């Protein structure tokens, strides 16, 4: 029996993870968390019987206390509650929170020697250097949930790092791959939310439309696999069948393939180092007989360049990139800014901040606060 904690259990990844748990008797849910979806976490709690639950939105805490007053369930709330729940001793934590707030729970799990199934890519972008240091000091493992990183992780099983020539991150290209750049100013929210291959939460769906998602994944890959930037390539593969590849020094290339379904990488992270059977249907090569590839268009998708440059400049650039992206995406979702504003505002934040080489956690908080303040002022002046 594996004891699991799931943060962000009411989201797209969280719900798919619970679907997998529902079909397998080997998992026991120790804790769940959500931002404010109180009805959903009540249903999940009644079904999975966690020992602890946490809701970030404190105004909803009393509903949980009332609902479970006759049961032995610890109810926590707010960011402090999230930090507290992350210390719970489990076999692994699945971090399926969206955005920068996922970073600290990842760090707390790893510091407490708890293995981490990591969907929250923002953790590695915000604090990859801190996470690597913690991992040097203890045995905690990170099993990536992001499909590209899961693919690379699977391709690297049984291989040694010295034999890697390069890793190749694939990306679908998003909904605007074929759209003319001179019409980007007209992009509507509904168009950006309409991803061709994946059904995901709204923030990552917009990240896929701007292709910042691929930029964040590039940084995530750098920190997860410890390879220099010149050994990480991005290639567009519109069918999303090959989830990523590794090329070795002997010219051999390993790829991991399947129909685009996040249940594959989520289940792999849950069952690692074993594999368990799933309901995912066998891949049909004849029905899916077109696999094509192209280079990413950095003029159309400047967010990829911003992310690559932020990683090359290092430290605080990655924090500003991530926080500014979280905020601009939220403002685009709120229809306060246009699609084309997203990279422009992020670049402005990057060029105006005071650089710190390897920020500590306190400094990351300060840089985040500065970015929020600067960006909000900038947008309200537009």
For residue 348, the SS3 value is helix
Long-range contact set of residues 57-64: C-beta below 8 Å, sequence gap at least 24: 60/36, 63/38, 64/38
Closest CA relative to residue 142, chosen from 119, 171, 126, 160: 119
Distances (CA, A) of 237 to 5, 154, 244: 34, 19, 10
Among 30, 61, 146, 247, binds ligand NAD (CB under 6 A): 146
As a whole number of angstroms, the distance between CA 52 and CA 314 comes to 38
Should residue 121 be labelled a site residue for ligand NAD when binding is judged by CB under 6 A? Answer: yes
Should residue 109 be labelled a site residue for ligand NAD when binding is judged by CB under 6 A? Answer: no
Query: Least distance in Å: CB of 199 to ligand NAD?
Result: 7
Contact 295, 233 (CB under 8 A): no
Q: Where do contacts with Mg ion occur on this chain (CB under 5 A)? A: 146-148
CA 329 distance to own-chain centroid: 15
Q: Which 84-103 residues touch ligand NAD, going by CB under 6 A?
A: 96-99, 101
252: number of CA atoms within 13 Å, CB side? 6
Closest CA relative to residue 104, chosen from 117, 91, 89, 87: 87
Nearer to ligand NAD, 35 or 153 (CB): 35
Should residue 200 be labelled a site residue for ligand NAD when binding is judged by CB under 6 A? Answer: yes
Choose from ligand NAD, Mg ion, none: what does 37 bind? Cβ within 5-8 Å by kind.
ligand NAD
Nearer to ligand NAD, 55 or 367 (CB): 55
Should residue 122 be labelled a site residue for ligand NAD when binding is judged by CB under 6 A? Answer: yes
Choose from Mg ion, ligand NAD, none: what does 262 bind? Cβ within 5-8 Å by kind.
ligand NAD
Nearer to ligand NAD, 86 or 271 (CB): 86
Should residue 21 be labelled a site residue for ligand NAD when binding is judged by CB under 6 A? Answer: no
Return the range that interacts with ligand NAD (CB under 6 A); candidates 113-121, 188-196, 230-238, 296-304. Answer: 113-121
Q: The tokens of 54 are what?
A: 């946490």
Contact 280, 264 (CB under 8 A): yes
Choose from Mg ion, ligand NAD, none: what does 52 bind? Cβ within 5-8 Å by kind.
none
Return the range that interacts with ligand NAD (CB under 6 A); candidates 12-20, 69-77, 232-240, 283-291. Answer: 12-20
């Amino acid at each position: 029996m594996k004891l699991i904690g799931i943060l962000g259990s009411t989201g797209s990844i969280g719900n798919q993870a619970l679907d997998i748990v529902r079909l397998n008797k080997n998992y026991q849910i120790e804790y769940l968390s959500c931002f404010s979806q109180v009805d959903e976490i009540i249903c999940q709690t009644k079904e999975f019987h966690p020992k602890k639950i946490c809701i970030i939105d404190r105004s909803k805490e009393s509903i949980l206390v009332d609902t479970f007053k006759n049961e032995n369930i610890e109810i926590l709330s707010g960011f402090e509650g999230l930090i507290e729940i992350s210390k719970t001793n489990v076999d692994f934590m699945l971090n399926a929170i969206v955005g920068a707030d996922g970073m600290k729970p990842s760090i707390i799990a790893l510091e407490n020697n708890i293995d981490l199934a990591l969907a929250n890519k923002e953790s590695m972008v915000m604090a990859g250097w801190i996470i690597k240091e913690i991992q040097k000091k203890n045995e905690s493992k990170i099993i990536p949930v992001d499909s590209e990183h899961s693919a690379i992780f699977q391709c690297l099983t049984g291989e040694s790092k010295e034999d890697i020539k390069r890793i190749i991150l694939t990306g679908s290209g998003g909904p605007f791959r074929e759209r003319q750049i001179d019409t980007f100013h007209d992009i509507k929210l509904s168009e950006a939310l309409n991803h061709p291959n994946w059904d995901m939460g709204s923030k990552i769906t917009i990240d896929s439309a701007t292709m910042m998602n691929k930029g964040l994944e590039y940084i995530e890959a750098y920190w997860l696999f410890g390879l220099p930037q010149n050994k990480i390539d991005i290639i567009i593969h519109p069918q999303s069948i090959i989830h990523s590849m590794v090329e070795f020094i002997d010219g051999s290339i390993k790829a991991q393939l399947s129909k685009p379904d996040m249940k594959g990488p989520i289940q792999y992270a849950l069952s690692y180092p074993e594999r368990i059977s799933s309901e995912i249907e066998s891949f049909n090569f004849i029905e899916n007989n077109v696999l094509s590839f192209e280079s990413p268009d950095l003029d159309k998708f400047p967010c990829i360049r911003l992310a690559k440059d932020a990683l090359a400049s290092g430290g605080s650039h990655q924090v500003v990139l991530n926080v500014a992206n979280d905020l601009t995406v939220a403002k685009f979702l709120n229809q306060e800014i246009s699609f084309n504003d997203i990279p422009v505002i992020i670049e402005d934040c990057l060029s105006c901040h005071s650089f710190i080489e390897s920020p500590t956690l306190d400094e990351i908080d300060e840089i985040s606060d500065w970015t929020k303040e600067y960006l909000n002022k900038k947008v309200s002046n537009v």
